[in-house]
């Protein structure tokens, strides 16, 4: 693709850790064993529905009720961290670092405390929560911290998933976290994989994700979400489009599945439906101003779609839109989006 390729954008959420984060909700919300009670499953399922529809405050309210009932259990704390993370990545802003890390640290301390007090099954669940806590840290570090810390946390997450399987190999949802790690570690390794430092485990990762989907008692939404990003990376655009459209029927108010849908349309050359999808996304950001990173992202790709469709006048009008909010763009966003901002300003002056 040209420089307009969607694969380089930050508008979509970081696929590896996000897939793990969403999968945590689904897995805990659907397993039926001695650890997961029906009350837990109901609350986690409700929180998941709010999260996937971008209703973050409502998701927190549900999880707060779970924490109030079981304050010494890591489950509510780790999922509240997931909601904080979901909102921060969705808004491209480091809004709640203190609250996020407080929940992570609490979940880790509680899970470690319960590790030796229970069956192998409970130990596997605790390793699952510890793995997700490390994966959430990795995502936060990749966006707001350091690459070195993100890499270290990713390795830590993998170790917990592997230890969980050693404790109870029948908790197949641990394979989902491992699969996400193995695929994206391989896909993003770059020169490290070329030098032989990292193995190419992409196919292994896909098999593990499919194993979790086929052999565990989860609803499948998590595996589907993980596969969407893998298919996008592998240029299987028809599969991405079909899955996103299906999931949007259930979660029409969330933006999570609109981003890969827009990307798949754009990368496959379906510029008119791509334009419509980016326009839908832009409408949401315009109604709730503040996320200028993604507003720039939408305007940039709207321009590219209209230019490809040879609607030059409409494309210029999109570029001119930048001038209306340019002065409000924070310095950090201007730095991160400097290439696209410069492009749109030049296009507006033509």
Cβ neighbour number for residue 327 with a 10 Å cutoff: 6
List, as one string, the DSSP characters of 232-248.
HHTT-HHHHHHHHHHHH
| pLDDT for res 337 | 95
pLDDT band at residue 4, thresholds of 50, 70 and 90?
A: low
Alpha carbon separation from 294 to 71, 241, 251, 306 (Å, rounded): 36, 21, 20, 18
Q: Which of 20, 297, 318 is nearest to 175 (CA)?
A: 20
Checking if the pLDDT of 17 tops 60, the result is: no
Q: Write the pLDDT tens digit of every residue in 106-128.
A: 999 999 999 887 788 889 989 99
| pLDDT for res 220 | 52
Q: Write the pLDDT tens digit of every residue in 159-198.
A: 999 999 999 998 887 888 899 899 988 887 654 555 555 6
Checking if the pLDDT of 215 tops 90, the result is: no
Measured between its terminal Cα atoms, the distance across the chain in Å is: 24
337: Cα separation from own chain's centroid: 20
| pLDDT for res 43 | 85
Q: Write the pLDDT tens digit of every residue in 254-301.
A: 899 999 999 999 999 999 999 999 999 999 998 877 899 999 999 999
Provide the token pair at 4.
């307009």
| pLDDT for res 34 | 67
| Structural domains of the chain in order of their starting residue, each with its CATH number | 14-234 (1.25.40), 258-349 (no CATH)
Q: Write the pLDDT tens digit of every residue in 28-46.
A: 443 345 676 777 778 888 8
Q: What is the DSSP letter of 14?
A: P
169: left (phi over 0), alpha (psi -120 to 50) or beta: alpha
Task: List the alpha helices (DSSP H) in 2-95.
Answer: 15-30, 38-52, 56-69, 74-91
Residues 6+ apart with CB under 8 A from 255: 54, 90, 281, 284
Beta-carbon-side half-sphere exposure of residue 104 (alpha carbons within 13 Å): 22
Question: What whole-number distance in Å separates Cα of residue 81 and Cα of residue 105?
Answer: 10
Q: What is the pTM of this model?
A: 0.86
The dihedral sign for the CA sequence 301, 51, 221, 177? positive
Alpha carbon separation from 339 to 294, 335, 343 (Å, rounded): 14, 9, 6
Q: Which of 194, 232, 213, 160 is nearest to 16 (CA)?
A: 232
CB 56 within 8 A of CB 87: yes
Q: Write the pLDDT tens digit of every residue in 273-286.
A: 999 999 999 999 98
């Amino acid at each position: 693709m040209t420089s307009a390729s969607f694969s380089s954008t930050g508008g979509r959420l970081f696929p590896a850790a996000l897939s793990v984060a969403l999968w945590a909700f689904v897995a805990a919300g659907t397993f039926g064993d001695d650890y997961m009670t029906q009350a837990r499953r109901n609350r986690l399922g409700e929180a998941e529905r709010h999260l996937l529809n971008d209703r973050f405050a409502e998701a927190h309210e549900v999880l707060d009720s779970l924490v109030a009932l079981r304050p010494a259990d890591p489950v509510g704390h780790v999922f509240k961290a997931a909601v904080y993370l979901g909102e921060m990545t969705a808004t491209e802003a480091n809004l709640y670092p203190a609250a996020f890390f407080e929940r992570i640290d609490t979940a880790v301390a509680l899970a470690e405390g319960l590790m030796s007090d229970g069956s192998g099954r409970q130990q596997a669940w605790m390793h699952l929560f510890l793995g997700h806590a490390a994966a959430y840290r990795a995502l936060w570090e990749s966006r707001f911290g350091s690459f070195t810390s993100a890499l270290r946390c990713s390795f830590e997450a993998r170790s917990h998933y592997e230890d969980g399987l050693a404790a109870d190999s029948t908790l197949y949802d641990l394979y989902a976290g491992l699969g996400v790690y193995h695929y994206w570690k391989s896909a993003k390794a770059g020169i490290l994989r070329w030098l032989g430092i990292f193995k190419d485990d992409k196919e292994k990762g896909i098999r593990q994700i499919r194993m979790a989907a086929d052999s565990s008692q989860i609803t499948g939404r998590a595996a589907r979400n993980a596969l969407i990003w893998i298919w996008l990376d592998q240029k299987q655009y028809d599969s991405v489009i079909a899955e996103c459209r299906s999931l949007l029927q259930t979660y029409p108010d969330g933006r999570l599945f609109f981003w890969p849908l827009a990307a798949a349309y754009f990368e496959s050359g379906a510029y008119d439906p791509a334009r419509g999808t980016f326009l839908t996304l832009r409408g949401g950001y315009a109604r709730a101003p503040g996320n200028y990173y993604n507003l720039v992202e939408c305007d940039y790709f709207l321009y590219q779609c209209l230019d490809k469709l040879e609607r030059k006048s409409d494309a210029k009008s999109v570029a001119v839109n930048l001038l209306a909010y340019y002065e409000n763009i924070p310095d950090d966003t201007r730095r991160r989006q400097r290439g696209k901002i410069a492009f749109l300003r030049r296009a507006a002056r033509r």
